[in-house]
Every structure is written in C-alpha cells, then in structure tokens.
Amino acid sequence: MQSVIRIGSRESVLAVKQAQIVKELIEKETPGIRAEIITMKTAGDRILDKSLEKIGGKGLFVKELDRALMEEKIDIAVHSLKDMPMEEREDIPILAYSRREDPRDVLLIRNGDDILPPAPVIGTSSRRRMLQMKQLYPDCIFRSIRGNVQTRLRKLKTEGYDATLLAAAGLKRLDMAREICMYFSVEEMIPAAGQGILAVQGRKGENRGWIKRLDCPESRAAALAERQFIRAVDGGCTSPCAAHARIEGNELKLSGLYYDEKTKQHVTGVLCGDITRAAYVGEKLAQELRQSI
C-alpha cells in the first residue's frame, strides 16, 4: 500500500483548509498512511478582472489539477463540488463526497451592520445569487467581485460595496462565521448544486480501499440529484439554475430553480423521492420545471 498520498489543491487559504480536512480524514482512517498537500494556482485564481462567463467557466478552477492527476504528480484532488463542471470525466471521476457543511448563502455587510442601506451595492459575480437577491431586495444594485474570501472582504471594506454574498460553508471552514451578518434559508436562496460538499477526485481504476471511508452516502445522494438537475436543465457553469437536496432518512427532497435563457423567465419547484433514485429525482424535477415555462 502506498505510504504517502499526495493531495492536490488550489493554493487559496480556503482550498488548503479543505484539503487539510481530507488529509486528516485519510490519516485517521488509514493508520500508517501519511498525506501531504501539493498546491497550485489555477487559471480561475489568476484571472480576477473578468467574469467566469467570459473566460471559460468553472473548468478554469480544475484544469491544472486535472492535468496533475493525469501526469501522476498527485494522487487525488480536493475541490469544492460547486466549483466543478457538471460533466464528470470518466478517466478522473469523483471518488468520494464529504459530509456536507452548511449549504446556505450568507450576506456580509460593510462595517458588520445587520441591515442593508437603501439601494445597496452588492458585490457578486454569480447570476444565481443576483437573480434570487433581486427578488428579496428589488432595489439592490450589483457590481462584479472576484477573488478568494480574504480578497472579497478587503474589497468590501475598501472599494465601495455595501455588502457581498458568500457561501456559509467556506466561512465556517475558515473559522470566520463571525463575519456573517445574515443567513438566507435554502428556500429564500437556493444554493449552487453541491454547495457545502467537498469532492475527492482521482484516477479511474486505481485501488484505494480507504476512499470509501471518506465517502458520505447522504452527500453522494444529494450531489447526484443536484448535479443531474443542472445537467438536465442544461445549466452551464455560469447559469443561474440552482438545486439543493435535503436528506431525511431514505427520502430525498430536491428544490430546484430553472432559468430559461431565451425567455428570461424562471421557476422553482420541489420533488421528493427515494434516496436510491437520486439522479432520477433530479432528472424528473428538471423535466417538470422545463415544461412549466
């Protein structure tokens, strides 16, 4: 058995923290195995002055790590599942899904206030967040913002934004929950597919018995339903389409948001099903919502 497992990660503080979570799990579950983290900067991390829509989508966050896996420079890669393209590569599939952290979106308001000013300037580059935030706060104004958590916090304080939207999961993993001024329920703002789940990616066919001990069945079912929904509504990397699954016992409750790019209309819906048919639930809800517009 391999004595050292090389974990590939983006080099941001959050990405390394997330890789550290997987590192600790590996070393806990497999005594005698040591894991080390190898970091690299991706194109998505380097190009911060343009929207993802204009520079190639979420694939820019995984391309370098995919190459490192294929060249056997690393053994596994750790990603935020929400940052991975919906089309999974057969040669380097997702092997495990972590237990889910808080999936909600949150608002960080300048100076730590608990209410937004009139016509607030909101920093976000996410069409999904813009669409849903506009329903909650019709007078808000959006300005693009890119970068890691620390960069966005700095920009919030120095570049004229009133607030910014982030994922609760990342802030909690960084022990920065104190920065959160407001939580949105998953009904108020349906999260990105996979939000709060870490994906462990590796080479197909390699025998890693320990990988199963990293996998959370509830997260796997939720991920299968959410990602299949996005695929079925043809929601690309920059689409405002969204999906979130709750698992209660053997039942999966999937909430979805479908946005029609041609008509500019959107609709939300909910569908329940058995956890063993997670992908089918995602497909079925997608069909229902597409037919409703």
**Domain assignment of residue 188, yes or no:** no
- Same-domain pairing of 136 and 149: yes
**Domain assignment of residue 189, yes or no:** no
- Same-domain pairing of 176 and 123: yes
- Same-domain pairing of 36 and 94: yes
Averaged pLDDT score across all residues of the chain: 92
**Domain assignment of residue 148, yes or no:** yes
- Same-domain pairing of 289 and 205: no
**Domain assignment of residue 237, yes or no:** yes
128-142 pLDDT, tens digit per residue, is 999 999 999 999 999
Higher pLDDT, 69 or 53: 69
Give catalytic residues, as residue numbers.
83
- Same-domain pairing of 49 and 81: yes
- pLDDT bin (cut points 50, 70, 90) of residue 59 is low
**Domain assignment of residue 9, yes or no:** yes
Number of domains the chain contains = 3
**Domain assignment of residue 192, yes or no:** no
The pLDDT, as a whole number, for residue 2 is: 73
Any idea what the CATH number is for the domain that residue 147 is in? 3.40.190.10
The pLDDT, as a whole number, for residue 207 is: 74
Summarize the confidence of residues 262-274 as an average pLDDT. Answer: 97
148-207 pLDDT, tens digit per residue, is 899 999 999 999 999 999 999 999 999 999 999 999 999 999 999 999 999 999 999 987
pTM (predicted TM-score): 0.92
- Same-domain pairing of 208 and 228: no
**Domain assignment of residue 228, yes or no:** yes
Q: Which of 270, 266, 222 is nearest to 240 (CA)?
A: 266
Please say if the pLDDT value at position 49 is more than 80. no
Summarize the confidence of residues 94-102 as an average pLDDT. Answer: 97
- Same-domain pairing of 4 and 50: yes
**Domain assignment of residue 57, yes or no:** yes
- Same-domain pairing of 272 and 135: no
- Same-domain pairing of 7 and 89: yes
The pLDDT, as a whole number, for residue 19 is: 98
Higher pLDDT, 110 or 114: 110
- Same-domain pairing of 84 and 135: no
Higher pLDDT, 41 or 99: 99
- Same-domain pairing of 176 and 230: no
- pLDDT bin (cut points 50, 70, 90) of residue 147 is confident
Q: Could you list the residue range(s) of the whole structural domain that residue 248 is in? A: 216-293
Any idea what the CATH number is for the domain that residue 278 is in? 3.30.160.40
- Same-domain pairing of 93 and 202: yes
Summarize the confidence of residues 259-264 as an average pLDDT. Answer: 94
